Amino acid sequence: MSVSPLTLTALSAAVAVEIAVAARYLARVRMPRPPVGVYTGGDVAVLCAGVVVAPLLYAALPGAAVSAVFGLVLCLAVQFTLAPLLTAAGLRATPWSWGAALAGTAATALAALTGHPGGARAGSGLLIAVAVVGVANLWTQSGLRAGHTAALAAALTGYDLAATTLTDTTARFFTQVQDRPFAPVLALTGGDRPVAVGLGDLLLLVLFPLVAAKAYGRAAAWSAALAGVLVTSAVSTCFALGVLSGGFPLLTALGPLIVAQHLYWRRRSGGERSTARWREGRPGPAPAPSGIELAAALAAPVPEGTPPGSWLALGAGRVLGTGPTPGLARRDARRQGADTTPTTARMV
Amino acid sequence: MSQLRYGAAILTNRRIRPGDLERLARDLVDTIAEFGEPGEDSALLPGRAGQVDPQLRREVTRRSLRATARTAVRHTAYYRRLFAELDLDPAKLEPEDWSRVPVTPKQALRALPAAFVSAAATPALMALTTGTSGTPTAVWFSRAEIETAIAFSTISAVLGLGLRPRHTVAYAGCSRATLPLVYAEESTTRAGAGFVQFGTVDPALALDRLAAPLGLPGRAPQITHLTTSASYLAALVQEAEQQKWQRGDFGLESVSVGGEVLSAPLRRRAEAVFGAAVDSAYLMTEILPSGASPCTEGHLHHTTEFGHLEVLDPVSGEPTAPGGIGIVVHTPYVPYRECTLLLRYATGDLVRLPDEPPDCELAHLPATSGILGRWSGPLSTAVTTREVLDLVEAEPEVPLPARYALTEGPEGPAGPARLHLLVPRLPATALLGRLEVRAAAAGLRLSAIVPHEDRATMPPTAPVRADLREHSFEAPGATDPRRR
């Protein structure tokens, strides 16, 4: 059975819209964060461990229980995504965000229980789309660095390859959650061969443009978004042409691209900028101290007759003041009209 | 995990793992580096005096007092004997019963510091107070207490003082005061800032070092923060005013004063000459890490997190009424303290209670006036150190730090006092006239102001920390080749 090219195009469009919405959210909405804490390599390692272990744990649970777990997680994620959005809109965030999250979750569950798989799929997709926007923004705004994201992508690429092609872990998991509500896939169609993108793939497709925007700026964000949509479209094309027919580990293509982009931009910008610099709109990482003033001070010509032991206040490549101590030399420079703090050195 | 373990230790009054707090402080520094500011609810971090539900605070106080008393009785010779004599059971103490525990006088701690040291602790560092009253007080601290306090100090330096890696802090306190020096150096450098110890050298030297450019890449060009005592600050202000230093000569952003009363005029003069905000918090070796911070309305707000504050009448020992003057009596809590344990420790520091409950930004914390002085008898409350300093330090003619003494007036101890003041020269008719007018306007109970040109003719004046002058081989101008 062939897959409709239109549906595959719609999937690429859905990914593009999702990235655009997440980027808009990043630009407009400030999410809360705890008083202290930054992401570390350990956090990424824990995340990777969770991704590896979770499907194994789910396999031991009945399908309904897995749906319940994902329903709960999605409900929470939708709530914390909507809350700051509603706050920014001047609404009472807590009741409205909880109301919307619970209503969406309940409607999806109800559609599934009453035999409306299309409704359940649409509800799940909507919840997943909102949750991914929230999680990607939460991580980005909480200081997740592009390096961390690249490391995560690299680790998950290896895992995805092993779980999807070398073993049947992914296949068994998708069989378990297939056509159930809250399944961790953004699915446009149902059945045995759904047109869908997995939650992990979608998260990285959305996440990297956001962290690239934070770490390296607009150009990096655009190229990351474009790369993600192109990879999705390329894989879709392969499905449309019949080159691919079963599940494809998208991260095996996306992961290396993310790593390559990160390395390129890091080399080009000299490093990642901090969240503070990103929010202030300052480009690139904080510049390393240059020591130019010291070099200029060492090269400044000393006036004839300056007695040894004098302290010289040096600035702009010349002597601005002198004194018996560094403080008095600095004061002399101020009295001579120097409006910036000079460097002082002792005449030897 | 470290935050959870710290929270669990506090809730159960168990020993704090210093590593947990160190991790928290390190995370805070990393957070500031990444985000430029802490996240929401940073007031709930340890030592930040965040608002807590009053009911919960009462319960924490009850449990903390009981745990502290229980530990003190179990592990210290002084309190074991005291509670046995009074037949008090620390496990049954309620906050209402707390006044049954006798106040611990400073003399008791001075007489035998070891009697207050917990047998369960490992004393590591003996902190000696400067001993301006003639006898220093010795307080033993364990290694864990020091590390814990350094972590609190780091959090306070980053959030309270706003220390960042571009800053450099100068510490102009007595070099023998090991504990505050260690705290200042460790917290400053852990915040990523630079640190330099001046000691209490000749004020001219200190001013020169404050003005000297550092020339360090990535740092502000001059020293940005100064920590010192009020009397040494007074000496610096005097030297700066006389030698015509100007605010533009310095790069100071903040001056922190502790250990002595900082008068309002000295603060104003220091702010004028250094061009930096001058603040004074309340810290004391014996009650560390407890202390108090000023609010924008001028109250001193005492932390309830690390200890329990009482303000008692220095004579009757009864709680001071609103508007009245009393001494600060403090119980530093276990587990923040584990080595030298003190219950109801009479600090001797005088404060006035506000007439009305404050409505400032720190109203949730117990409020007093700033420290008024040290209790040394009825004269010390009749005319407080703060009142005298507010009077005399406003006069540029009076040499700083001001040297004065209060003696009984003609009406005896209950009547107005006589103020003896060192002046640069006699007669000081104009100065005296101004002082008398201002003293009368302020309602000071002074029968006379007696100027002295020679300190030797004065009644004994109280020593100040600036008297602990440290020698240096360098002297301002000595290296001036033009002077040779």
**Quick check: is A46 in a domain?**
yes
Residue A265 shares a structural domain with residue A297 = no
> Which residue of chain A has the CA closest to B166?
A289
CB of A309 less than 8 A from some CB of B? yes
Tell me which residue in B39, B218, B483 faces A36 most closely, judged by beta carbons: B39
Residue A56 shares a structural domain with residue A94 = yes
Which range is most confident: B1-15, B290-304, B467-481?
B290-304
Tell me which residue in A289, A326, A340 faces B212 most closely, judged by beta carbons: A326
Q: What tokens does B281 get?
A: 């918090």
| Sites in chain A below the pLDDT cut of 70 | 1-2, 290-291
Residue A55 shares a structural domain with residue A195 = yes
Residue A169 shares a structural domain with residue A137 = yes
The pLDDT, as a whole number, for residue A63 is 83
B446-to-B42, B137, B377, B389, B458 alpha-carbon distances in Å: 47, 32, 16, 14, 17
Percent of chain B with pLDDT over 90: 76
How far is the C-alpha of A331 from the C-alpha of B240, rounded, in Å? 12
Q: What tokens does A139 get?
A: 């991580």
The pLDDT, as a whole number, for residue B78 is 98
Asked if residue A182 lies in contact with residue A108, where contact means CB atoms within 8 angstroms, the answer is yes
Residue B283, strand partner residues: B291
CB of A59 less than 8 A from some CB of B? no
Asked if residue B213 lies in contact with residue B221, where contact means CB atoms within 8 angstroms, the answer is yes
Mean pLDDT score, B312-340: 95
Q: What letters, b where the CB count within 10 A reaches 16 and e where it falls short, cover A257-294?
A: bbbebbeebbeebebbbbbbbbeeeeeebeeeeeeebb
The pLDDT, as a whole number, for residue A60 is 83
The pLDDT, as a whole number, for residue A137 is 97
How far is the C-alpha of B471 from the C-alpha of B364, rounded, in Å? 45
The pLDDT, as a whole number, for residue A53 is 87
Residues B327-353 have pLDDT tens digits of: 999 999 999 999 999 999 999 999 999
Report residue B61 CA to chain centroid gap. Answer: 23
Residues B92-148 have pLDDT tens digits of: 888 888 999 999 999 999 999 999 999 999 999 999 887 766 778 899 999 999 999
Mean pLDDT score, B362-390: 94
Tell me which residue in B27, B39, B213 faces A344 most closely, judged by beta carbons: B213
Q: Which one, of A218, A225, A215, A212, lies nearest residue A254 by Cα?
A: A225
Tell me which residue in A35, A308, A328 faces B42 most closely, judged by beta carbons: A35
**Quick check: is A285 in a domain?**
no
Residue A78 shares a structural domain with residue A203 = yes
Q: Which one, of A248, A249, A227, A255, lies nearest residue A154 by Cα?
A: A255
Asked if residue A29 lies in contact with residue A84, where contact means CB atoms within 8 angstroms, the answer is yes
Contact B211 A331 (CB under 8 A): yes
| SS3 category, B227 | strand
Q: What letters, b where the CB count within 10 A reaches 16 and e where it falls short, cover B273-303?
A: bbebebbbebbbbbbbbbbbbbbeeebbbbb
Tell me which residue in B210, B213, B481 faces A343 most closely, judged by beta carbons: B213
Residue A81 shares a structural domain with residue A179 = yes
Mutate to test the interface with A, among B2, B26, B41, B249 (most CBs of A within 10 A): B249
- The torsion angles phi and psi of A229, rounded to 5 degrees, stand at -65, -40
Q: Which 17-56 residues of chain A touch chain B by CB within 8 A?
A: 32-38
Single out the residue in A244, A275, A306 at which a domain terminates.
A275
Q: How many residues are present in chain A?
A: 348
The pLDDT, as a whole number, for residue B213 is 94
Contact B40 A32 (CB under 8 A): yes
Contact A290 B208 (CB under 8 A): no
Contact B44 A325 (CB under 8 A): no
CB of A289 less than 8 A from some CB of B? yes
Asked if residue B195 lies in contact with residue B188, where contact means CB atoms within 8 angstroms, the answer is yes
Average pLDDT, chain B: 92
Q: Is the pLDDT of residue B45 over 60?
A: yes
Spell out the residues 6+ positions from residue A173 whose beta carbon is closer than 8 angstroms to its own.
A55, A58, A59
| SS3 category, B382 | helix
Contact A324 B479 (CB under 8 A): yes
Contacting residues of A for B222, CB less than 8 Å apart: 330, 341
Residue A199 shares a structural domain with residue A338 = no
Contacting residues of A for B209, CB less than 8 Å apart: 327
Structural domain span for residue A204: 5-275
User: How many beta-carbon pairs below 8 A join chains A and B?
Assistant: 118
Query: Looking at this protein, which amino acid is placed at residue A254?
Result: L
**Quick check: is A282 in a domain?**
no
Residue B291, strand partner residues: B283
**Quick check: is A155 in a domain?**
yes
- Give the gap in angstroms from C-alpha A145 to the nearest C-alpha of chain B: 10
How far is the C-alpha of B109 from the C-alpha of B138, rounded, in Å? 8
Q: Which one, of B282, B302, B284, lies nearest residue B346 by Cα?
A: B284
Cis preceding linkage at B427, omega within 30:
yes
The pLDDT, as a whole number, for residue B360 is 92
Average pLDDT, chain A: 90
Rg (CA), chain B: 23
Task: ipTM value, please give it.
Answer: 0.85
Contact A34 B217 (CB under 8 A): no
> Which residue of chain A has the CA closest to B221?
A341
Asked if residue A317 lies in contact with residue A300, where contact means CB atoms within 8 angstroms, the answer is yes
Q: Which 457-476 residues of chain B touch chain A by CB within 8 A?
A: 476
Q: What tokens does A19 get?
A: 């990235």
The pLDDT, as a whole number, for residue B483 is 40
**Quick check: is A50 in a domain?**
yes
- Give the gap in angstroms from C-alpha A32 to the nearest C-alpha of chain B: 7
The pLDDT, as a whole number, for residue A292 is 72
Residue A148 shares a structural domain with residue A34 = yes
Residues A281-331 have pLDDT tens digits of: 998 888 777 667 777 777 788 888 888 888 999 988 888 999 999 999 999
Q: Which helix (H) or strand (E) element contains residue A254?
A: helix A251-269
**Quick check: is A161 in a domain?**
yes
**Quick check: is A281 in a domain?**
no
Mutate to test the interface with B, among A33, A36, A336, A340 (most CBs of B within 10 A): A36
Single out the residue in A275, A302, A322 at which a domain terminates.
A275
Residue A331 shares a structural domain with residue A250 = no
- Give the gap in angstroms from C-alpha B51 to the nearest C-alpha of chain A: 15
Mutate to test the interface with A, among B32, B208, B224 (most CBs of A within 10 A): B208
**Quick check: is A283 in a domain?**
no
Q: What tokens does B139 get?
A: 């307080």
Cis preceding linkage at A308, omega within 30:
no
Single out the residue in A233, A250, A275 at which a domain terminates.
A275
Contacting residues of B for A32, CB less than 8 Å apart: 39-40
pTM of the model: 0.87
Residue A53 shares a structural domain with residue A176 = yes
Residue A331 shares a structural domain with residue A191 = no
- Give the gap in angstroms from C-alpha B25 to the nearest C-alpha of chain A: 9
Number of domains in chain A: 2
Contact A327 B212 (CB under 8 A): yes
CB of B2 less than 8 A from some CB of A? no
The pLDDT, as a whole number, for residue A185 is 86
Residue A184 shares a structural domain with residue A52 = yes
| SS3 category, B118 | coil
| SS3 category, B160 | coil
Contact A290 B217 (CB under 8 A): yes
Q: Is the pLDDT of residue B388 over 90?
A: yes
How far is the C-alpha of A163 from the C-alpha of A167, rounded, in Å? 5
